[in-house]
Amino acid sequence: VARKAIGVVIEGVLEYRDGVTNFVAHRFVEWPMTPGGWRSRDFR
């Protein structure tokens, strides 16, 4: 899902221990949007 989707919603846990922050993902869900409804933004 994460490699082929336009956008992804990630559910998980953010943990901080010994000065290190980790994000442990539990679930990936494809973002519910259609490509034709959004314009591309090129910031070059």
Q: How many domains does the chain have?
A: 1
pLDDT > 80? residue 5: no
CA gap 40, 36 in Å, rounded: 10
pLDDT > 90? residue 15: yes
**Quick one: three-class SS letters along 1-44?**
CCCCCCCEEEEEEEEEECCEEEEEEEEEEECCCCHHHCCCCCCC
Residue 10 lies in a domain: yes
Q: What is the pLDDT of residue 21?
A: 97
CB distance 23 to 11 below 8 Å: no
Q: Which amino acid appears at position 27 of this protein? A: R
Q: What is the pLDDT of residue 11?
A: 93
Share of the chain above pLDDT 90, in %: 36
Residue 11 lies in a domain: yes
| Token output for 9 | 């919603």
Residue 41 lies in a domain: no
Range of the domain at 3: 1-32
Residue 9 lies in a domain: yes
